[in-house]
Amino acid sequence: MTCKMRVKMGDVEIDYEGSDEFLKKDLLNLLKDMSQLRQPQTGQDGQPPSQKQHVTHGAKQDISTGYIAQKISAKTGTDLALAACYKMHLTGKDTFSTSEIISGMREAKSFFNKNYPSNLPKYLKTLTKSQLNDCGNNKYSLSHEEIKKAEALRN
């Protein structure tokens, strides 16, 4: 006999179509394996990763690009692009596209200049020398040193 089954636990989902022999013999093992995938693993500090991520990225969810630009004394488009990347990092994003960086820059209305979007490739070229990592496909991430600087802005 042929049967169909869909099992979803959180973000783990399995579709099965085949013989009922699988259901009789292996379904229980599959469900056990899925539940282990869903169980939070503990880190070195004994906290589940989701809690550690909340501590790392969630401390100041309402932080703005303008606030960061002010804190880093942004004077140029390059500075504002970096401030936008800091803001995205601090609100939980690890990589940022060029369009996300421009959107972040636009949020800082008192710092934004209408010429900044067209100059973004130049700013990114400067920033990828030491402050940003080019992840390919128009995606960027903060360098290790810049992550430290961004995290220091939480306080």
pLDDT tens for 30-75 read 666 666 655 554 454 555 444 333 333 344 456 899 999 999 999 9
Same domain for 22 and 84, yes or no, is no
For tokens 């309402």, what's the residue?
A: 62
Same domain for 72 and 145, yes or no, is yes
Enumerate helices (H) and strands (E) in the chain, giving the number of each: 7, 5
User: Looking at residue 58, what is its pLDDT?
Assistant: 40
Residue among 71, 98, 85 at smallest CA distance from 145: 85
Binned at pLDDT 50, 70 and 90, residue 133 comes out as very high
Same domain for 66 and 135, yes or no, is yes
Q: How many CA atoms lie within 13 A of 139 on its CB side?
A: 6
Same domain for 84 and 144, yes or no, is yes
User: Looking at residue 33, what is its pLDDT?
Assistant: 67
H-assigned helices in 39-76 = 49-57, 65-71
State which of 43-52, 103-112, 146-155 shows the largest mean pLDDT.
103-112
User: Looking at residue 51, what is its pLDDT?
Assistant: 37
CATH number, domain at 138? Answer: 1.10.10
Same domain for 100 and 146, yes or no, is yes
Same domain for 28 and 93, yes or no, is no
Domain that includes residue 33, residue range: 2-38
In a domain, 98, yes or no: yes
